[in-house]
Amino acid sequence: MTSMMELVPGGCWGLLPILLSFLLLVFGLYCAYVHLIHLRYDYIPAPPRPSFLLGHLPIFWKASSKKELVHDIFLEWAKEYGPVVRLNAFHRISIFLTSPEAVKEFLMSPQYQKDPRVYGQLHSLFGERFLGKGIITIQEHERWHKQRKIMDPAFSRSYLVGMMGTFNEKAEQLMEILEEKADGKMEVSLLNMMNRVTLDIIAKVAFGMETNTLHDDQTPFPHAVTTAMKGVSMIRNPMLKFLPGKRKVVDEIRSSIRFLRQTGKECIERRREAIQNNEEIPPDILTQILKGEATEGPRDDETMVDNFISFFIAGHETTANQLAFTILELSRHPEILEKLQAEVDEVVGSKRDIEYEDLGKLQYLSQVFKEALRLYPPGPGTSRWLDKELVVDGIRLPAHTSIFLSSYTTGRLETNFKDPLVFNPDRFSPEAPKPYFTYFPFSLGPRSCIGQNFAQMESKVVMAKFLQRLEFQLAPGQNFTILDTGSLRPKDGVFCTLTPRKSHCDFSGGIGGNMISEGL
C-alpha cells in the first residue's frame, strides 16, 4: 500500500513545520493584540466573558439557538451592571448605554455618525448591493443631510394630507378581505395581513406602484421583499451561508435583491421619462428624489435605487409589526379596547373614509400606539461611532468605540417607567410627564426616522377602520413571544378569529358618523 509520505513531495513535508510555526506566531500575536484591547477597556462594567477570544458571543449564540430575545439579555445586564456596559467580541468592543443623558448626547448631536461596522453590513447582502448608501445606511452627516433635504418635502403636512386617499383606499380593501373571513371560526394571521396592506400603501404613495399584495402576497415583488428580509436576519452570522442547506436560501436572497433593484431602476426610469414628457406625475417620494437631480448636482442612479429599496424595507414591516403588537396587547386588555372603540365611534362613527382632521382627535389611539412602541419598538436600537474620548455617567469611554443605544431596554427599565411591563396607555396622556430621552422608537435628533408621521397616520387609518368594523379574539395557543428578524415582530403571527362588530354605528355610510366627527 502506498504510504502518505510517498504521495506528498518531500519538500512539502519540510515546509509544513514552517507553516505551522508561522500560523502559531500569527495566532499568538493576535491573542496579544486582543489582550491589549482588553486592558484598554476592562475597567468598564461587564458580565464575565465565557471566552477569551469570543468574548460575550457564546451568550448571544446560546440565546439565539433557544429562540430567546437577545435584547432581554441587554435589559438584564443594564439592571445588574448599570447604564454603561461593555460587550466583547474578538478584538472588537462595543459599549451599551442606557442613561437618558447618554441617549441625549449621542442622538441629538450630528457629530456622532452611525457606526460603519453595523450599518455597513446593510450596504450589500451576500455580495449583492442592498441598501447601499441610502438614507438609512449612509454614515457621513453631510451626505445624509443632502439626501434628507431632498426628501423632506415629500413628508410635509401638505403632502401627507394628500396621502389620506390612498390610506383609506388600501385600508378599505383590507377590511373587505377581513370581513369575508369574519365568521368567528377562521383563524387569520393579522401580522401577515398588516404586512400586506402596509406594503401596498408604501408602494402606492411613495412610488406610484400597485403591488396588489393584499390579494396575492406571492407575486414577485412582495415575495422578493420578504425573501430579502431573510437576508437581513442572517447577516448577524455570516457563516450561515456555508452551512448545508443554506446555499439555496442565500441564492434566493441574492436573486430577490437583484429583482428588487431592477424593479427600482425601471420605476425610476419610467418616472424620469414622464417628467421629461411633461406628463402629470404624483407628488410622492420618487418625484422628490428625481427633482433633487436638478438642484443637488449630477444624478446617482445607484443611490436612488438604494433609497427605493430602503423605503420598502423600512416603510412597511415596522408599521405592520407595530399594528400587530397593538392588537396583541388589546386582546388581553378588554378595558383598554372598550375605551378605544368608544373613541373610534365618537370620532369616526359610520364614515367609510377617515379624514385628516379625524386623526388628531384620536388621542387615546395615539397613546395606545405609543405604549405599544415603548414595549415593542420594531427597530429596537441604533448604533453610533465615538471618535474622541468621552466621559459618560462617570466612566471614561475610549476614542474609536462603537456605541449601542436600545429603546427596547430604556423603555422597560423600572428607573424610567413605573411597572414597565404593564401595558398602560395613560403613560402618554396629555397630562402625563413626557419621557426624558428614555423613549425613542423612531430614534431622536437629526437622524430620527423621516417617515414617523407617515407611519402613524397610516397606522391610525388602518386601526380605526379595524376597530370600527370588527371584533377579534386571539386564537388558542398564541403567545406574546417576540422574534427578532432585523426588526421585532410577534413570533406567532397574531392569529385571531374575527366577527363583525355589533355597534350602535351604521356602517352603511350614513350621516351619523359625519355628525359625530364634526361635533354636531
Q: Is the dihedral of CA 319, 322, 328, 332 positive or negative?
A: negative
Find out whether 449 is annotated in a ligand binding site: yes
CA dihedral 219, 220, 223, 229 (to 10 degrees): -160
Q: Which residue has the cell 428578524?
A: 485
The string of DSSP codes covering 230-252 is: HHHHHTT-GGGGGSTTHHHHHHH
Residue 209: phi and psi, rounded to 5, are -100, 145
23, amino acid identity: L
Determine phi and psi for 488, rounding to 5 degrees: -85, 135
Residues 6+ apart with CB under 8 A from 41: 86, 88, 93, 398
Q: What does the DSSP 8-state code read for residue 434? A: P
The residues with which 87 forms a beta bridge, in sequence order, are 94
Q: What residues contact residue 167 under an 8 Å CB cut-off, 6+ apart?
A: 201, 205, 354, 457, 458, 461, 462
Pairing state between β 92-97 and 401-406:
parallel
∠ CA(123), CA(126), CA(130), 5° rounding? 30
* DSSP bridge pairs for 485: none
| Distance between CA atoms of residues 248 and 397, nearest Å | 43
Q: Could you give the angle at which helices 301-330 and 190-207 cross, rounded to 10 degrees? A: 150
Would you list the DSSP string of 76-141?
HHHHHH-SEEEEEETTEEEEEE--HHHHHHHHH-TTSPBPHHHHGGGTEETTEE-STTSTTT---H
Q: What is the DSSP letter of 55?
A: B
| 494 and 478 Cβ atoms separated by less than 8 Å | yes
- Among residues 483, 439, 382, 415, the alpha carbon closest in space to that of 94 is found at 382
- Say how far apart CA 84 and CA 107 lie, in whole Å: 16
Distances (CA, A) of 485 to 226, 425, 491: 11, 26, 10
Q: What's the rounded Cα separation, in Å, for the pair 239 and 67?
A: 18
Output the nine-digit C-alpha cell for 385: 461611532
Report the alpha-carbon distance of residue 122 to residue 233 in Å, rounded.
11
Residue list, annotated binding site: 449
Residue list, annotated binding site for heme: 449
